[in-house]
Amino acid sequence: MTLEPARRAADAPRAAPDGGRATRLPSPPGDACLRAERARWLRRRLLERQLHDGASLRISALTLQLGLFRHRVPATDEDLRTAVGEVQDELHAVLQELREIARQIYPPLLDEAGLGPALREIAARTDSPVHVDATDDRFGPAAEGAAYFAVAECLDALDRDEPPVELRVRREADVLAVHVVGIDVRHAPPMDDQIRRLGGTIDVAGGPGSGTIIARIPCE
């Protein structure tokens, strides 16, 4: 793909604040594009809620009913009791898969508690040590969703033996600012695709070994 030369100030590369690698700022999306992107995140959150409050609850209820039915099966009919138990196990597996799918659409904890608790959850699952310093502010489903999945992608790139990484989440006026500090920027994903569509920017500072990625996303 061929990139056109920058023609406006917004298209010029921005130097990182501490002399790191420059980051090219995309042209801000139009109002229609921004509304469409925010609406897309709202649909993702709604779909997660439908899966959680609909299919997941129905499967859970069905599993409980099978458990009650299994206790009513005569002890002499061991084959039937075993078959019912196997169906329960399969339903448990389906329920876990459904919850994982819902989490990939829009994490329930992100919806219910916000970005800080959701990032702490994925930090606890990361092989490398990750410290989260986050406010309790809410930033809107679009900004929180984009930040969450961008950071999750970034943490997935960490190696087990890398030094500790710190995540800082702050509100700067009407902007959600996420700092990923202490990461090897050579191996970190650019994080820009989901953020760019919301009018956000990425700054990368530092280089091999230890650097900083700063994502800023306009919030609601």
**What would the pLDDT profile of 120-141 be if each residue is shown by its tens digit?**
999 999 988 999 999 999 999 9
- pTM of the complete model: 0.79
24 pLDDT above the threshold of 70: no
How many other CB atoms are found less than 10 A from the CB of residue 192? 19
Q: Which pLDDT score is estimated for 100? A: 92
- For residues 51 and 89, state if they share a domain: yes
CA 7, chain centre distance (Å): 34
Same domain? For 117 and 163 the reply is yes
- Position 27 scores a pLDDT of 56
| Claim to verify: residue 115 and residue 181 sit in the same structural domain | yes
Q: Is residue 29 part of a domain?
A: no
Residues 138 and 184 in one domain: yes
Residue 112: name the closest of 53, 171, 173 by CA. Answer: 53
Closest CA to 37 of 141, 155, 158: 141
Domain count, the chain: 2
Residue 19, in any domain of the structure: no
Structure tokens at 97: 């898969």
Task: Looking at the structure, tell me whether residues 99 and 114 fall in a common domain.
Answer: no
Are residue 153 and residue 70 in the same domain, yes or no? no
Domain stop point among 51, 78, 105 = 105
Closest CA to 123 of 201, 178, 47: 178
Find the CATH number of the domain harbouring 189: 3.30.565.10
Q: Which helix (H) or strand (E) holds 214?
A: strand 211-218
Domain C-terminal end among 82, 105, 128: 105
User: What does DSSP say about strands 23-24 and 13-14: parallel, antiparallel, or unpaired?
Assistant: antiparallel
**pLDDT, tens digit, for every residue of 3-18?**
333 333 334 334 444 4
Q: How many CB atoms lie under 10 A from the CB of residue 9?
A: 7
Strands (E) across 17-164 are located at: 23-24, 130-134
Please give the Cα distance from 142 to 49 (Å, whole number). Answer: 15
- Quickly tell me which residue has 């996420």 as its tokens: 178
In a domain, 147, yes or no: yes
Same domain, 90 and 149: no
Q: Which domain holds residue 82?
A: 41-105
Is the residue at 63 inside a domain? yes
Q: Is the pLDDT of residue 91 over 50?
A: yes
